[in-house]
Amino acid sequence: MRRGRAIIIPEASTEGDLQRAWVMQCNASPQAVVSGPIAWRLQGWRIPGPEWIVADVTHQRVSVPGVTVVRRPAGRFTTAADGLRLAHLRDALADTLIAVDWTRACAVVDLVFQARVADLSDLESIVRERAGRGCRGAAQLRRLLQRMAAGSKSEAEQRMGRLLHRSGTGPWIANHPLRDDLGHLVAEIDFAMPLLRIAIEVDGRAFHSDRRSFEGDRRRQNRLVLDGWLVLRFTWEQITRNPEEVIAAVLAAVQHRTARTSGWMGT
């Protein structure tokens, strides 16, 4: 409970995000906002992370061990119960990416992209706002943007296209529309070989489905299978780290379908 500028935490409740947030805010300046993973979780996003981060325009030190202070104007924040100030989600992400090392920053970006808390456009906005000359963490932010852009679905598709060319199979049709008998679009296949009914789907580095998208993807894939398509799905990691295995899988699929087609024609 709050009493003036002090906060009283019951003995049984000395741990937890809410208590940590109050401890940070009460030990910072009146303009400070609680940021980082704690701010995400207190606003309903279950993103793990141990960092204690405060955004504060002043140079006042926070006496609590383990707290990182990101020097910036308070900017956008949400006022929670009893006046607790929580940084908006994108600002909390930016503060975290500035405050942690490269390995942790990569893990954080992967987590928030997968949970759909943020996407590539949010990261681009962060870089525009925070990566100017002399800004703390500017180089790391720009490097993170390059990493995620290189792992986008479009980049994954480009790499997959090059692997298909190397495989010597084909022809493959990119973004092939599949329609039902009434002409309605059922699916758009990343790479298709209609003659053999082979479909290849590509997932970028940040690929993740929420419940609705997950169910839609599975209905779409089931429809392809029921219509006689052989569906292969490859991730960014498979395409970039194990390209020969990807090519081998494509070759096996083509050989299998070619044999089946020859068998049908010979009967």
- The predicted-structure confidence for 217-235, as pLDDT tens digits, reads as follows 777 888 889 889 999 999 8
Q: Closest Cα to residue 162, out of 195, 198, 199, 202?
A: 202
pLDDT above 70 for 6: no
Range in 18-27, 109-118, 197-206 with the lowest mean pLDDT: 109-118
pLDDT of residue 216: 66
With left for phi above 0 and alpha for psi between -120 and 50, is residue 75 left, alpha or beta?
left
Domain ranges for the chain, please list them: 2-150, 153-266
pLDDT above 60 for 82: yes
pLDDT above 80 for 67: yes
Residue 67 φ then ψ, to 5°: -90, 130
Range in 98-102, 181-185, 191-195, 244-248 with the lowest mean pLDDT: 181-185
pLDDT of residue 69: 92
Classify 192 as helix, strand or coil: strand
| Cβ contact 246:238 at 8 Å | yes
Q: How far apart are CA 23 and CA 5, in angstroms?
A: 11
Q: Closest Cα to residue 202, out of 161, 234, 166?
A: 234
Q: Closest Cα to residue 163, out of 102, 104, 251, 103?
A: 251
Report the CATH fold assignment for 153-266.
Answer: Endonuclease; Chain A (3.40.960)
Per cent of the chain over pLDDT 90 is 44
pLDDT of residue 212: 54
Q: What is the pLDDT of residues 101-135, one digit of tens each?
A: 999 998 898 888 777 778 888 899 999 999 888 88
Interaxial angle between packed helices 89-99 and 138-150, expressed in degrees from 0 to 180 and rounded to the nearest 10: 110
